[in-house]
Amino acid sequence: MDDFMDLLAKLDWFESLDAGVRWLSGTKSWKFVVSRNCGWSGQQVEAMLRHRGVKVWGRGFTRDTLTFRVNVKQANWAEYLLHQNAIPVLSRAFDPKNSQYAKREHFNVNSSNQRKRTGWLESLLSTLFD
């Protein structure tokens, strides 16, 4: 099954074509490699980055890793977000300080003064009855 997955990864011509066009147009990018065993799917990682303004392209995968590219102007922010969400970055660090900053911020995010995430119904009920 793993060999089949590797074969599928190599057949993704559209991503390769997109990356080639971006390279020819002069778009500078940074390649990220993250672990596939981090509790996040590639789709979830991309959605998290996209939600925070980071455009992702050049996606790929192997048995153990997910790879993708971002604009070099957004690479520092993307790397920080990956570290903040405890997604192991296996590629070379864009800025080694990002892992330190994210650990500090991660501590603050988990502090007791953060509101618990709830659905809209729970929020409405707590507003009405608290």
pLDDT digits (tens, 9 = 90+) for 50-99: 999 999 988 988 889 999 999 999 999 999 999 999 999 999 999 989 87
Q: Would residue 124 count as lying in a domain?
A: no
Q: Would residue 117 count as lying in a domain?
A: no
Q: What is the pLDDT of residue 33?
A: 96
Q: What is the pTM of this model?
A: 0.64
Question: 119: buried, middle or exposed (CB in 10 Å: 19+, 13-18, 0-12)?
Answer: exposed
Which has the closest alpha carbon to 8: 37, 42, 40? 42
Q: Would residue 126 count as lying in a domain?
A: no
The total of structural domains in the chain comes to 1
Rg of the Cα atoms in the chain? 18
Supply the CATH number for residue 56's domain: 3.30.70.980
Q: Would residue 85 count as lying in a domain?
A: yes
